[in-house]
Structure 1
């Protein structure tokens, strides 16, 4: 009787047995491991006239740090020539809005000066610690398959590129190749990009797919400028950029556990009335809370500090150098000082004409007819697809004509190289035209900071 009872109980238990593949893999029964948040913040410029970029980046760091992301999981790349610049009337202090608080105090400086390069950026983003040994802090985004990654980049841009103060430009195809590689290697669960630059939409348009868990927003579409704001009379420069200050002022007061990425995007899109704020990639991620990327969801987020409604006095990024000189001229009391500023304004206009004429000459040498040259100069292709031709042309132009990391105005003319590459003019012919036009020393204009 007892033996019969044991046999019945065994048969009943076996009928409810779990499949062997589950028994052999007990981890399948466990909840997915909750990941952590990582962040990479980059200001891709230098010099006092570009104060606003490093101010934006420092403010971004303060938001992420105050909302619980530990410093060991935040990487900051800034040239670091602003806080203690000779032109800074408040040494050691950087502000991001008029009469604002210091955003420089305590900021990380993982990579500064000549270490702020596109190559280092890509290695840091992809967690390539070996490549960063002996450079800066050596920190990288060492994220894994359950982690979230937030990337904020602020700088000058052009079709398919964002600039760096050292080592060239970051091209859109290289960035998206890195993102796809990270996806294949399961180096993140979700990733978000906020990019402030002229024509910043071109970094993702037609490239970032919607099936790799990446959400991106940009300050402008693929063909327009982003805008600087908050001119400061004491510092004689712009303190911020419209898109950047709008998302950060929103984050400063937000309950990050309640506000979503999409809600912040809508706020920034509405309040950035100077350019078209765009979104790309997996838009379903817009339902995720801000603290999934800009803070630590295990702690109280947001300081509830509402920024005062200040006049932006926005100006298109390419017009910033002239606008600064105009403000300086209005503020100058001394006649000699005014004459000096007028001379600087004249030099700036001469430089811009020189760049424009140089680019026009390159186009004429590279094209088959004056009609084709006029088409290349007077139109803009909506989308860049010939990335390798364009990359070769831009690098040759920067090396032989105008150094793009020292003079941002030529960025405004890179669209002609997009046009020529999209028209299938061979890159060898374009580079030969560059050699012919820029073969002689171009003088101070080539390396100027305007």
Structure 2
């Protein structure tokens, strides 16, 4: 998909080689324990020597920019000193390199546009600001709430110190599932995020806030949970029941360097006059160019009329980007795609056997997760006695919208504790819609928990991709 753009390998490699130097100069809190020694996507925009001039003409809006709830907001210039940002990459391991690269790219945009570095808070796996143990949902919430005491001695200790006259920009990138996003060792549920926003609103931690979320099924984090009067505008990489997509595969590094939704909004920010580009016009460009998933918008849609500069800052610099093939794949296909590419690339007999073994294990573990989820369903519905073929097909193939948060959060947390860690086994996120279906069909949550207790015996397993 999306393979009609020319891939300039010399440009790709040039940017990778210079990235470590620039990244350490402008974004010192980045050191990946997974062995990633540079963040190509963060600085690929800064070297224009090999780029061709290609004027990008965004698609014409098909929704009026002023469409939204309530009175249209009057745009007033915002001093970058009144902008705060929180950037989070919730994953780890080299397979997920693209998540850290996305966050570094976002950091470069903010720095170039004059946002003070002391007002940009980053959370990344095993970096200088936050170690592996520090990148947690609990600490993310403390950052948003400005809880300095709660983060004393944790990483840099930086928290939002914004107030009612400030604009806040949040960018979160990681794996997701219905009603949750993952961190390295835990998950953040939608209701916890909603409650955090409510507290921020009531305590006047911001004047206006924008949240860009890159994750599978990310739309489920905001559906029916973001009241317009909270002055928050959010967009997501996908709706509530589909994958987000990785892109920019690099043969030399053998990993994906970006995510489609993320690179679309960031490359738009790189090339546009952000005092003229509104949140709405950027959203429409990203939605139209992201043809791998359904980019969604939520919250106070009056904010769409505001310039992007109000949240990302402003610079007169416009960057010209090279044509690079996207090589887009669904998030769940990233690891098998990488392994298959490596297999096709090598002629070494020993290495080929090792890669084939990794692929066999990957598919074997996926089958195990699927089989155990089926066992749980059968126990809840009566070992097939009460589960008709129609009900079985409905459970397996329908996608109910999440509304019974109490049931779902309870069973999802228990599944993560009793069966497989959701955060440490990304493939598991692809099966959590089954828990949503059971809860939405009114199946008893305690019965679901009992079925998990009777079925699961693989709590220590990690790395199911």
Band of TM-score, shorter chain: 0.7 to 0.9
Task: Tell me the equivalent position of 1:58.
Answer: 104
Q: TM-score, normalised by structure 2?
A: 0.80
- Alignment partners' CA distance in 1, 2:116 and 2:131: 20
Maintained 8 Å contact 2:421/2:459: no
Maintained 8 Å contact 2:362/2:464: no
- Whether 1:119 and 2:138 are equivalent positions in the alignment is yes
Select which of 369, 387, 390 maps to 1:370: 387
Maintained 8 Å contact 1:367/1:373: no
- 1:18-417, aligned counterparts within 5 Å? 36-80=82-126, 109-166=128-185, 168-295=186-313, 301-368=315-382, 369-371=386-388, 372-381=391-400, 383-417=401-435
Cα offset, 1:449, TM superposition: 4.7
Maintained 8 Å contact 1:253/1:302: no
Maintained 8 Å contact 1:254/1:302: no
- Alignment partners' CA distance in 1, 2:126 and 2:458: 31
- Alignment partners' CA distance in 2, 1:195 and 1:292: 18
Maintained 8 Å contact 1:192/1:215: yes
Root mean square deviation, CA, Å: 1.8
- Alignment partners' CA distance in 2, 1:276 and 1:218: 8
- Alignment partners' CA distance in 2, 1:80 and 1:50: 14
* 1:85-135 residue CA offsets vs partner (Å, 9 max, x unmatched): xxxxxxxxxxxxxxxxxxxxxxxx432311100111111011111211111
Task: Tell me the equivalent position of 1:18.
Answer: none
Q: TM-score, normalised by structure 1?
A: 0.82
Gaps of 5+ in 1: 1-30, 82-108
- Alignment partners' CA distance in 1, 2:316 and 2:235: 21
- Alignment partners' CA distance in 2, 1:309 and 1:388: 47
Secondary structure, in 3 states, of the residue corresponding to 2:395? Answer: helix
Gaps of 5+ in 2: 1-75
- Alignment partners' CA distance in 1, 2:437 and 2:277: 41
Structure with the larger RCO, 1 or 2 (CA within 8 Å, 6+ apart): 2
Cα offset, 1:395, TM superposition: 1.0
* 1:321-342 residue CA offsets vs partner (Å, 9 max, x unmatched): 1100111011112122112211
